[in-house]
Copies of this chain bind each other. A is one copy, B any other.
Amino acid sequence: MTVSTAPDARGDLFDPACPTRQILDRLSGKWSSMVIKILAEEPAGEVRFADLRRRVPGMSAKMAAQTLKELERDGVVLRRVEALTPPRVHYSLTPLGVSLDAALAHLREWAELHAHAVDRARTAYDRSHDNGGTNP
């Protein structure tokens, strides 16, 4: 059986088979974290495809479909189909997805808390690097 090709990759972030690597790679897509946030924030818990697109400005149908498919494959998102014409498809977070959102929330919190500090660091860095005193 194909139980696991990764014997004990736990903690070995540098092995491509490492779980953390995989998660980070999945989240590194441009839209994944936004989709998760939308689904997490939805009071009803479910969002339809077109709604999702409306709520994530700039995300093409292609990227929406691709992102949702990946997240569904990972067990983070649930896809529910109502077979009407026209069809209705509803997306929501699974319990696993909810817990992932909680982990992501720490990062969001960090970012909001330290956004100013990062901004200041960048300004300072740019000031001393792109024209550090040797410019006309």
- Which residues of A pack against B, CB within 8 Å? 2-4, 10-11, 13-14, 19-20, 22-24, 27-30, 33-34, 37, 55-58, 72-76, 96, 99-100, 102-104, 106-112, 114-115, 117-126
Establish whether residues A103 and B112, one from each chain, have CB atoms under 8 Å apart when the complex forms. Answer: no
- Report B-chain residues with C-beta under 8 Å of the C-beta of A112: 10-11, 19-20
**How far, in whole Å, are A57 and B14 apart by their CA atoms in the complex?**
7
- Assess whether A74 is in contact with B118, with CB atoms less than 8 Å apart: yes
Q: Which 3 residue pairs spanning A and B have beta carbons closest together? A: A75-B121, A19-B115, A28-B28
The number of times this chain is found in the oligomer is 2
A22 near B111 (CB under 8 angstroms)? yes
A23 vs B55: C-alpha distance when bound (angstroms): 21
| Interface secondary structure of A, over-half rule | helix
Q: Which chain B residues border A72 with CB–CB below 8 Å?
A: 125
Are the C-beta atoms of A20 and B108 separated by less than 8 Å? yes
A96 near B114 (CB under 8 angstroms)?
yes
Task: Indicate which residue in B23, B55, B73 contacts A107 across the interface (CB closer than 8 Å).
Answer: B23
Identify the closest chain B residue to A101 (Cβ). Answer: B110
Q: CB distance A121 to B73 under 8 Å? A: yes
A122 CA / B70 CA spacing, docked (Å): 9
Partner of A34, one of B14, B73, B109, B111: B14
CA distance A58 to B12 in the complex (A): 14
